[in-house]
Structure 1
Amino acid sequence: MKRVLLSVALCMVASASFAQKKAVSQAESLVKGTADANAFTEARSLIKGAMENAESKDDPKTWYVAGFIEDQQFSNEKTKQVLGQQPNEPVMYDALGHILPYFQKAYELDQKPNAKGKVKPKYTKNIKNTLSANHVYYINGGAYYFDQKDYAKAYDFFEQYLTISDMPMFKGTPTAARDSNFMTVQFYSAVAATQLNDPKKAIAALERAKSTDYRQNDVYQYLCYEYEQAKDSVNLEKTLKEGMEKFPQEKYYLLSLINAYIYSNRSEQAIEYLNAAIQKDPNNAQLYDVMGRVYEGLKDYAKAEEFFTKAYSLDSENADILSNLGRVYYNQGVNKLGEANAITDSQKYQEESAKAKALFEKAMPYFEKVHQLKPDDRDCMTALRGIYYNLNMGDKFDAIEAEMNK
């Protein structure tokens, strides 16, 4: 009796296993040579069940057919494109995006030894041919999603292209070539990653892109931005220094490194790099302006005035430089007036007040010039109001007050 029951159980298992294999074959047959959307829907439903069933989920054919279904739908749309017809791009690229994950699983299972301990792949050749034929279309798919601003999918497609290039089965073939396509895809995969609000992923992609000679200046600048966003000051400074060495003519790295030193209160390092920069580019007004700001932060107003004045002599129409030079005089005037107000001796008070007014008078023409260049600049108008008030220039005070109250 036990033997009979055991036989029945075995028959039931065999029947279930056969049913799943039949479902896989049926799914494969449904999509061969057809563009019928219903056939693809039914085939996907059948193969989904087989991928989840214990009797068929470890069979390489199950996963191969899953990828085959997607490739058939992709090929239908690709054929339209080749014939000059408009393909259904969302359907086309959605199908393409599903092929590789299924084929990777099929390939993994196809390499397992059989009952005799031998590896006899059944699907690897077809997988290799299909992935090789489709390889370039992953670039198109990534570009399609990039244009749609779907950066997650764009990143996924570019990464699939790179994954296929790195698969052992393609070693030594054109699919694995580190050519211009490969370098371009690495770059745009990294760019897409920067749009995902995932600094870790972006940094990994950009660090990888550094290894190829394609738009490296852009890669380094993107990477600096990501390290800054991640508040990784160590790697930020390291990358900025690397960028300075690789692209000595690019001002971005030096100025960014100087800013990093300024914002971290390392004025000595900032001054050191600024001096080096000025030696290389002695007519760069921006460098003198930044040096002036460093000294202003150190409250060395004499030095700040010296460098702001030099910047002004090189670029007298620059509103920022004009504001900085005006500000260094204005703030000294405010400080001097505060000192004067604390003096009880009338004569000394008059002397110190006169010094304060002289500083306000020095600041005035620079802020007036800024006001001409940038009439809506509130900081400039505030400074002018203070200057006119302290110099008893009632008409000008009223005029600037009216402008501010508009």
Structure 2
Amino acid sequence: MRKVLFTVALFFTACAVSAQESVVKEAKSAKSNPEEAAKIIEPALVDPSTANDPETWKLAGDFQKSIYDEENMKLYIPGGQADTTRLYNSLAKMFEYYMKCDEVEQAKVKSGELKKPKLRKKLAKALIAVRPQLTNAGIEAFNTNNYENALKYFGLYVDAPQEPIFEGENELKNDTLVPLFANYAAMAASFVKDNAAVIKYGNIGKNHKEEGYRSLMFMAETYGKSETPDSVQWLATIKEGVEKFPSQEYFIGNLMDYYIQKGKVDEGLAQINEIIANNPSPYFMYVKGVLQYEKKDYDGAIATFNEVIAKNGDFVAESYSKIGDCYFFQGQSIEEENLKTSMDDPKYAEGEAKVKDFYSKAQPFYEKARELAPDNKQLWGQFLLRIYWKLNKAEYEALEKELN
């Protein structure tokens, strides 16, 4: 009985192999209609009896190449309109199938079943010829907010030089565009929250001299805001951004916030002074003033903010507001201490006079900030309201209505 069952099993196995081989033959016979042939061969790509044959994968790749060539030709015909979705889908599948073909063939060489690979050079040449089109595919996907496809196409372009099929292809190894498009791969990955891809492509893209800051920004966001934040890597990435791209405000702003939060204001001041020596932009000057303010070096901060104002560029309203802060918070500190003093005590009246003096000095700076940035009430609203309450009840009531 066992022998009979074993014979039946062999019979079914033989039938299965024969069935898949017939699928491949049927696909070959339909090659004049590559779209149909591509559908016919699909079962052969998952069945071990045919999936372990490199020719199966080459044939599947050939069908995709035919589809690609057909659509690509329309791009060069006057009035021709290519179906770019079909074009780029076939392009990606061509890469997938030809690289799988190479993988299967190399495995047979390693096992001794084949003496040497026969298909690698031909397939590599075909893929190198169409590889630039991957960037167009990525750009179109990105511009239509299809970030998953953008990541796929840009990723294929960036990964290609490291794929085994392209071993020895120096043209790809020396491709200077890889870091540029790695930036866009990292960007697309950030939109689909593929943190691993952000880090993978970001580490390549950050080496681009002009656009590398994008990768470092996305990497920092990933390290800082993922489900498991990595503060060590976040800080290292921010510092790398400051070093490589000192004109990018994102890195400086984040680093200075870090120094303030950690109570390392002197370290922050030393670094911002080095940056300002090479680039005294309004933003960097403003950051320096904020650090001086945090250190309670109010005179130094006021002088720095006045330099920003004198440049008459960016951060003028913010600088007026911060000068107001330099006076206002000194007055508020005295006011808080004064609450501990009896109103009958002469020192209370002295304290009140000092408070009003500081508030009076702060008032015109907040009012200037209000004039320059009327919609940005965070710069002046509550502070000016407090000053008016202390100094002028009529203005207080008018501003209270405005703010409410």
Interval containing the TM-score (normalised by the shorter chain) = 0.7 to 0.9
Whether the 8 Å contact between 1:285 and 1:312 is mirrored in structure 2 is no
Candidates 63, 85, 93, aligned match of 1:90: 85
Alpha carbons 1:152, 1:196 under 8 Å: kept: yes
Separation in 2, partners of 1:33, 1:69? 9
1:149 partnered with 2:152? no
2:290 to 270, 283, 293: 293
Q: Which moved more, 1:97-106 or 1:183-192?
A: 183-192
Q: Distance in 2 between matches of 1:248 and 1:214?
A: 12
* Equivalent position amino acid for 1:389 in 2: W
The reply to whether residue 185 of structure 1 matches residue 184 of structure 2 is no
1:57-136 mapped onto 2 (5 Å cutoff): 57-84=51-78, 85-111=80-106, 112-113=108-109, 117-121=113-117, 123-124=119-120, 126-136=122-132
Structure 2 stretches of 5 or more lacking a match? none
Given that 2:370 and 2:377 are in contact with CA atoms closer than 8 Å, whether structure 1 keeps it comes out as no
**AA of the residue aligned to 2:401:** A
Give distance in 1, aligned partners of 2:250 and 2:120: 49
How many Å apart are 1:381 and its aligned residue? 2.8
Correspondence for 2:265: 267
Greater Cα offset, 160-169 or 61-70:
160-169
What's the CA shift for 1:212?
A: 5.1
The total of aligned residue pairs comes to: 394
> Residues 119 and 271 (structure 1 numbering): CA distance in 2 closer, same or farther, change over 3 Å?
same
Matched to 1:188, the amino acid is Y
1:363 correspondence with 2:362? yes
User: Percentage identity across aligned positions?
Assistant: 27
User: 1:246-265 maps to which residues of 2 (within 5 A)?
Assistant: 246-247=244-245, 253-265=251-263
CA distance in 1, matches of 2:26, 2:173: 38
- The one-letter code sitting in structure 2 at the alignment partner of 1:207 is N
Match of 2:160 in 1: 164
Question: Mean Cα displacement is larger for which, 20-29 or 340-349?
Answer: 340-349
Deviations 1:160-217 (A, max 9, x none): 2233333344344465242344443333323322322233321221112234556334
Please, which of 50, 63, 68 is the counterpart of residue 56 of structure 1?
50
State the one-letter code of the partner of 2:17: S
Q: CA deviation at 1:275?
A: 4.0
In 2, distance between residues paired with 1:8 and 1:171?
Answer: 46
- Structure-1 separation of matches of 2:282 and 2:210: 32
Give the secondary structure class of the aligned counterpart of 2:191. coil
- 2:321 corresponds, among 316, 320, 323, to 323
Q: CA offsets, 1:300-336, max 9 Å, x none?
A: 3xx1243124312441661111111212322222332
Change (3 A) 1:395 1:69: same
Partner AA of 2:231 in structure 1: S
Partner Cα distance (1:370, 1:133) in 2: 59
How many Å apart are 1:362 and its aligned residue?
A: 0.9
- Give CA-to-partner distance per residue, 1:222-242, whole Å, 9 cap, x none: 444444435433333333443
- Higher mean Cα deviation, 376-385 or 169-178? 169-178
Partners in 2 of 1:116 and 1:399 — Cα distance? 90
Greater mean deviation of Cα atoms: 289-298 or 5-14? 5-14
Q: 1:182 to 1:357 in 2, by over 3 A?
A: closer
1:24 Cα deviation after fit? 0.6
One-letter amino acid of the counterpart of residue 67, structure 1: G
Over residues 332-370 of structure 1, what are the superposed CA-to-partner deviations in whole Å (9 max), with x where a residue is unaligned? 223323333432234322222111111111111111111
CA distance in 2, matches of 1:332, 1:5: 95
- 1:404–1:248 distance in 2 versus 1, CA, 3 Å: closer
Q: 1:235 to 1:11 in 2, by over 3 A?
A: closer
Cα distance in 2, alignment partners of residues 286 and 133 from structure 1: 46
CA contact (8 A) 2:338 2:352 kept: yes
Q: SS at 2:49's partner residue? A: coil
Name the counterpart of 2:21: 21
8 Å CA contact 1:288, 1:307 repeated in 2: no
Corresponding position of 1:386:
386
**TM-score normalised according to structure 2 size:** 0.83
**Quick one: distance in 2 between partners of 1:224 and 1:330?**
35
State TM-score, norm by structure 1.
Answer: 0.83
The 5 A counterparts of 1:202-221 are: 202-211=198-207, 215-221=211-217
Distance (whole Å) between structure 2 residues aligned to residue 141 and residue 287 of structure 1: 39
Q: What RMSD over aligned residues (CA atoms) do the two structures have, in Å?
A: 3.3
Change (3 A) 1:390 1:151: same
Q: Which moved more, 1:91-100 or 1:332-341?
A: 332-341
The question of 1:311 aligning with 2:308 is answered no
AA at the equivalent of 2:105: D
Amino acid at match of 1:49: P
Unaligned runs of 5+ residues in structure 1 are: none
Partner of 2:351: 352
